[in-house]
Amino acid sequence: MNKTLTPRPGPGILDIAKYVPGDSGASASGPIYKLSSNETPLGASPKAISAFKSAAGTLNLYPDGGASRLREAIAAFYGLNPDHIVCGSGSDEILSLLAQAYLRAGDEAVISRHGFLMYEICARANGARPVFAAETDLTASVDHLLEALSDKTRMVFLANPNNPTGTYLPFDEVRRLHGALPDDVVLVLDAAYAEYVRRNDYEAGIELVANTANVVMTRTFSKIYGLAGLRLGWAYCPENIAAVLNRVRGPFNVSAPAIAAGVAALEDRGFTEQAVEHNARWLDWLRSEITALGLRVTPSAGNFLLIHFPDEPGRGAADADAFLSARGLILRRLENYRLPHCLRTSVGTDAANHALVDALRAFLAG
């Protein structure tokens, strides 16, 4: 027996750059403001927290394998067929399941150049090659996405709005993209930030899913609902794709506390509206204040902003990040998104937003 051999992972696995989440700590001695992960500053609904605590008495029992209560609550909230909803451990799991089911070695997945990192990871983990399409003004371009197609394309990922840029495509453009795709290519519309969008020309994808056989819309409870720690997401799919995902997902992939909290979060519409209003008010304020400091900010439809820094020694994004972190403000570095001169900040609490602007002013003043 040859003792020098070691187990070998599948094709593409070793080409994956490990996903690095937003920092969670800083060296400052005062208040810490974590603005690196697009978490809601209002936290979870008190009703969701209560439901989570109530689930503690049945932790010895397996959860409902089909997350029926949650699917029915989602269906009632949006007016959907619950049989076309698949729930998962965050929308990341749904993305991984889609790639597992529909991508194989030799296939290609088309991704906008600055799209969410998980798309590339999902493709490579299944032996497929990610193909990056150019963007226009940091916005996904339907024309460039279509130019990137080949006879090997089996999936197109589109975050709308996109993380980390905050830009979005009007729904007419999404419809144009889908209309030009072959029927055997799956279009994945990642609408993790849909609840924040206030644009008349935006649609998350429900209508397109309802009338096609190759479009999936993914959503999350991690952002507006404040349940990031529970890992809870869902997808609205055509019947054929829902049937496939239910074959490859784990039988108990969503925990009972997550199901209970998710149902309660949907029911607390007033709390969700507060979160939307808070974001709308402070997103505009931050954009205005940061722009007034002389920094360029990409307009955002989400709950975060992309801040551009000059490519100058002592004034660049890495310098700003070190300066801010030392003062308890944790933003997201974006080298792995091919945006080395940018930092992304979440909309935070009132105090965090003011602290960020004050610290940026001090940094720029030298």
Per-residue pLDDT tens over the stretch 276-292: 999 999 999 999 999 99
Q: Which of 133, 9, 32 is nearest to 356 (CA)?
A: 32
Separation of alpha carbons 74 and 82, rounded Å: 8
Separation of alpha carbons 60 and 50, rounded Å: 19
* Chain centroid to CA 212: 23
Separation of alpha carbons 244 and 102, rounded Å: 9
305 with 253, same domain: the answer is: no
Predicted confidence (pLDDT) per residue in 291-316, tens digit? 999 999 999 999 999 999 999 999 99
Predicted confidence (pLDDT) per residue in 9-57, tens digit? 777 777 777 666 666 555 556 799 999 999 999 999 999 999 999 999 9
160 with 140, same domain: the answer is: yes
Q: Which residue has the tokens 């067929």?
A: 81
What letter does residue 18 receive in the DSSP assignment?
P
Would you tell me how many other CB atoms lie within 10 Å of the CB of residue 312? Answer: 9
Over residues 205-212, mean pLDDT? 96
240 with 310, same domain: the answer is: no
CATH of the domain at 59: 3.40.640.10
pLDDT at residue 299, as a whole number? 96
Is 160 a member of any domain? yes
Strands (DSSP E) contained in the chain are: 33-34, 85-88, 108-112, 129-133, 135-136, 139-140, 153-159, 186-190, 215-220, 233-236, 296-298, 304-308, 329-330, 332-333, 342-346
Would you tell me how many other CB atoms lie within 10 Å of the CB of residue 234? Answer: 23
Residue ranges of alpha helices (H) inside 103-254 are 117-125, 142-147, 171-179, 206-210, 239-248
* Predicted confidence (pLDDT) at residue 330 exceeds the cutoff of 90: yes
Cβ distance 113 to 135 under 8 Å? yes
Predicted confidence (pLDDT) per residue in 101-137, tens digit? 999 999 999 999 999 999 999 999 999 999 999 999 9
Separation of alpha carbons 43 and 63, rounded Å: 25
Separation of alpha carbons 39 and 62, rounded Å: 29
Q: Which domain holds residue 150?
A: 47-267
pLDDT at residue 23, as a whole number? 64
Is 1 a member of any domain? no
Is 3 a member of any domain? no
108 with 229, same domain: the answer is: yes
Is 148 a member of any domain? yes
CATH of the domain at 355: 3.90.1150.10
Percent of the chain whose pLDDT exceeds 70: 96
Is 289 a member of any domain? yes
Task: Tell which of 245, 267, 289 closes a domain.
Answer: 267
Over residues 330-351, mean pLDDT? 97
Predicted confidence (pLDDT) per residue in 162-201, tens digit? 999 999 999 999 999 999 999 999 999 999 999 999 999 9
171 with 218, same domain: the answer is: yes
190 with 311, same domain: the answer is: no
Walk across the sheet containing 332-333 and list its strands.
296-298, 304-308, 342-346, 332-333
**Number of structural domains the chain divides into:** 2
Q: Find the helix or strand (DSSP H, E) in which 290 lies.
A: helix 269-292
pLDDT at residue 302, as a whole number? 98
151 with 199, same domain: the answer is: yes
Half-sphere exposure of 133 (CA within 13 A, CB side): 26
Is 303 a member of any domain? yes
62 with 164, same domain: the answer is: yes
Is 190 a member of any domain? yes
Is 4 a member of any domain? no
Over residues 133-160, mean pLDDT? 98
Over residues 245-269, mean pLDDT? 97
Gyration radius of the chain's alpha carbons:
21
195 with 246, same domain: the answer is: yes
Calculate the average pLDDT of the chain: 95
Task: Tell which of 267, 286, 314 closes a domain.
Answer: 267
* Predicted confidence (pLDDT) at residue 355 exceeds the cutoff of 70: yes
228 with 332, same domain: the answer is: no
32 with 173, same domain: the answer is: no
Task: Tell which of 241, 267, 293 closes a domain.
Answer: 267
Cβ distance 306 to 297 under 8 Å? yes
Percent of the chain whose pLDDT exceeds 90: 92
pLDDT at residue 10, as a whole number? 79
Whether this prediction's pTM lies above 0.85 is answered by yes
Instruction: Provide the Cα torsion 62, 65, 68, 69; round to 10°.
Output: 20
230 with 338, same domain: the answer is: no
